[in-house]
Amino acid sequence: MTGKSATMQAAWYERMGPAREVLRRGELPMPEPGHGEVLIKIEASGVNPHDTKRRSGWLGSAMYAPRVVPHSDGAGTVAALGPGVDRAKVGDRVFVYRAGSTRPGEGTAAEYVAVQQANVVPLPGTLSLAEGACLGVPAFTAYHATLSDGPVSGQVVLVQGGAGAVGVVAIELARWSGATVIATVSSPEKAAIARAAGADHTIDYTRDDVAARVMEITGGAGVERIVEVDFGANVSIDAAVIAENGTVASYSSTRVREPVLPYYAFGLKGVRLHFVQGVNMPRAIREAGTATIVALLERGMLKPRIARRLPLREIAAAHELVESGQAIGNVVIELPRAQPGDIVR
């Protein structure tokens, strides 16, 4: 960007609905970084289930801006700094999360995005920008669900959906923290992914009695923590296998949107139910999560798995792929690569 052009390529929607009906692509005004903001030249934009649920209207919320450029996660290079920025420099490779949190409707499905410097994180050179775009929601959600209230050393952790984007990171974090990890999966391929991430045991929930297998593995003791991908669908399993004073940390409930809670199955055990959202974590947890995630990335202990890379013009297909549940790993939108003249000084 040289200042000669004040527009950028982007995708957006102005009403909720199916991806192919509402997503549009074209030129939008390019943002300028305000106080405490960093302007990022986005090269890869991560597509999360939260993005597709919000666009489709599944979440039940109203449009939060007249025009929404989707996606909160992305990666690229720093193009310009707003006043008061002291933790970034032009040209840095970074990943971003919570894009749009202070600029409603301004996400990463665009060539440029302005983000608060607190949500801009240096990307280790061992990762590609496409991998960096996969880190925001999955990694911070996994951190919040697994470690935000302390280490899990010596515990047994059940990760429901262990081959998913969040599940894989949860396994990696729990193993790093010293836990024994049991992961549920739906195929031999996904079992291999969970084991590669560090799972000690995998259970195929399409064939096995998950509760019986968990209790067999734990000698009847149950698990101290459950990282839950689908609370409503798995609530009876969770109630059966969670140990006394254990924690169920759930970040989604897709198949059963309004679950019936078996109160005393949890209550008599003193179980803590923790509903986790990676996009609105308290500041202290975000900061602790950032430090942990970056440290593990630098050691090569976290490695995002990319299922598919698609160009911006195929954003509708990318959303449909995420909605299908068939992608094993993260779906990434790739934008034009930064050129020397794209730096703003």
Running DSSP on this structure, what letter comes out for residue 13? B
Q: Per residue in 275-313, pLDDT tens?
A: 998 778 889 999 999 999 999 999 999 989 999 999 999
Q: How close are the terminal C-alpha atoms of the chain, in Å?
A: 10
For residue 2, is pLDDT > 50? Answer: no
CA distances from 175 to 47, 150, 153, 225 (A): 26, 14, 8, 13
Nearest to 194 by CA among 213, 175, 212: 175
Q: pLDDT band at residue 338, thresholds of 50, 70 and 90?
A: low
Q: Which residues contact 345 (CB under 8 A, 6 or more apart)?
A: 80, 90
Say if residue 245 is exposed, middle or buried (CB neighbours under 10 Å; 0-12, 13-18, 19+): exposed
pTM recorded for the entire structure: 0.93
**Domain ranges within the chain, ordered by starting residue:** 7-135+304-342, 138-275
Q: Provide DSSP, 267-329.
A: HTTTPEEEE--TTS--HHHHHHHHHHHHHHHHTT-----EEEEEEGGGHHHHHHHHHHT--SS
In CATH, which of 3.90.180.10, 2.60.260.20, 3.30.300.30, 3.20.19.10 is domain 7-135+304-342? 3.90.180.10
Q: pLDDT band at residue 125, thresholds of 50, 70 and 90?
A: very high
pLDDT over 70 percentage in the chain: 96
Q: Which residues contact 264 (CB under 8 A, 6 or more apart)?
A: none
The region of weakest confidence among 180-194, 236-250, 271-285 is: 271-285
* CA count, 13 A, side-chain hemisphere, 73: 25
Amino acid, single-letter form, for residue 342: D
- What is the C-alpha separation between 33 and 10, in angstroms, rounded? 17
Token pair of 297 as six digits: 């990335």
The pLDDT value recorded for residue 278 is: 76
The pLDDT value recorded for residue 277 is: 87
Token pair of 92 as six digits: 């840095």
CA distances from 301 to 236, 273, 298 (A): 33, 28, 8
> Higher-confidence residue: 59 or 91?
91
**For 138-275, which CATH superfamily applies?**
NAD(P)-binding Rossmann-like Domain (3.40.50.720)
For residue 221, is pLDDT > 50? Answer: yes
Phi and psi dihedrals of 129, rounded to 5? -65, -35
Token pair of 285 as six digits: 């947890």
